[in-house]
Amino acid sequence: MRFIYTKTFAVFSAFMVITALLVLMQVKGWLDPLKTVFINSPRPVTYAVAKAAKPIKYFFSTAYNLRKITKENAALTQQVFQLQQDLVQFDQEKRENEALRKELGFAANTGLSLVPCTVMSQNPFGASDTLVLNCGSDRGVSEGQAIISQGFLVGKIIYAGKGYSTALLITSSNFTTDAKLSKTGASGVVNGSFGSGIILDQLSQSDSADKGWQVVTGGIDSRIPKNILIGEVGEVVSNSNDLFKKATLLSPIDFNGLEFVFAVK
């Protein structure tokens, strides 16, 4: 009986009484107004908190999106760079294929004995009047042989090593070879013009040299076969008082863009 008078019993009894009263009030509906107040009262607080947190949420969302956009932009930049590299490679291969097709088309229809050569170093700014080729004495290339492209004379071999050779361009002032007008057979000499063109010189003043007439090799030089195309007559640059007639020659070959040539054996 001593337990009834303890503090624990008093707390337990009070809890049971309060519980019974709450149950009774719930059954009677007396708690409905109070419940409505507790349910609706957080709404202004929730609205205020949400409004205050909105700028913070927007800041972090923007920061995340900027980081994401930066990464995507870097990836797209890399893709654009790769596509540009692929396009450059494609253009290079296309140009080389077109040049090679032209050369092979000529080679298939000529009776000349030819050695195909790739130009290892070019002359992009006219700083040099020579070409280094990947064909040499081990393939029958020797000094003095003609170098042609698309059937036109572009130079001659001035040095032949094993596996490579050096060719002097026809536009060099050091280049010279015998030539003739295809239409009349009139003889002359072809010289380079300081890397800028080709000159037909030492024609007799009595020989005609009309614009558009074809000029070919004369065949006097045994290392350069006759009737290889050189170019066509452009303008006569001498006058009647000169000892010989002189004219410019026009070649369809881009001497600064040569990639494939043939050495004539």
List CB contacts of 25: < 8 A, sequence separation 6 or more.
31
Looking only at the bridges linking them, the beta strands covering 176-181 and 229-236 are: unpaired
Q: Given this model, what pLDDT does residue 193 score?
A: 86
Q: Given this model, what pLDDT does residue 77 score?
A: 76
Q: What residue has token string 């170098």?
A: 147
Contact indicator for 189, 179 with CB cutoff of 8 Å: yes
Q: Given this model, what pLDDT does residue 87 score?
A: 64
The CA-CA-CA angle for residues 255, 213, 122, to 5°, reads 5
Q: Which strand (E) or helix (H) includes residue 114?
A: strand 114-121
Q: Given this model, what pLDDT does residue 17 score?
A: 67
User: How far apart (Å, rounded) are the C-alpha atoms in residues 93 and 238?
Assistant: 44
User: How far apart (Å, rounded) are the C-alpha atoms in residues 55 and 47?
Assistant: 14
Q: Given this model, what pLDDT does residue 90 score?
A: 58
Q: Is 16 helix (H, G, I), strand (E, B) or coil?
A: helix
Q: Given this model, what pLDDT does residue 3 score?
A: 47
pLDDT per residue, tens digit, the chain (265 aa), is 454 556 666 666 666 667 666 666 666 666 566 555 545 555 555 455 455 555 655 655 666 677 778 777 777 777 776 767 666 665 555 555 565 566 555 555 667 889 999 999 875 445 578 999 999 999 999 999 999 998 899 999 999 999 999 999 999 999 999 999 999 999 999 999 876 689 999 999 999 999 999 999 999 988 999 999 999 999 999 998 999 999 999 999 989 888 889 999 8
Q: Given this model, what pLDDT does residue 75 score?
A: 76
Backbone angles phi, psi at 197, to 5 degrees: 175, -165
Q: Tell me, what amino acid is at 89?
A: Q
Q: Given this model, what pLDDT does residue 257 score?
A: 85
Q: Is 213 exposed, middle or buried (0-12, 13-18, 19+ CB in 10 A)?
A: middle
User: How far apart (Å, rounded) are the C-alpha atoms in residues 252 and 148?
Assistant: 12
List CB contacts of 33: < 8 A, sequence separation 6 or more.
none
List CB contacts of 246: < 8 A, sequence separation 6 or more.
199, 200, 201, 202, 203, 236, 237, 238
CB atoms within 10 A of CB 246: 20
Q: Given this model, what pLDDT does residue 49 score?
A: 46
User: How far apart (Å, rounded) are the C-alpha atoms in residues 148 and 158?
Assistant: 14
Helices (H), the chain: 7-28, 32-40, 42-107
Q: Given this model, what pLDDT does residue 24 score?
A: 63
User: How far apart (Å, rounded) are the C-alpha atoms in residues 193 and 215?
Assistant: 16
Q: Given this model, what pLDDT does residue 183 score?
A: 92
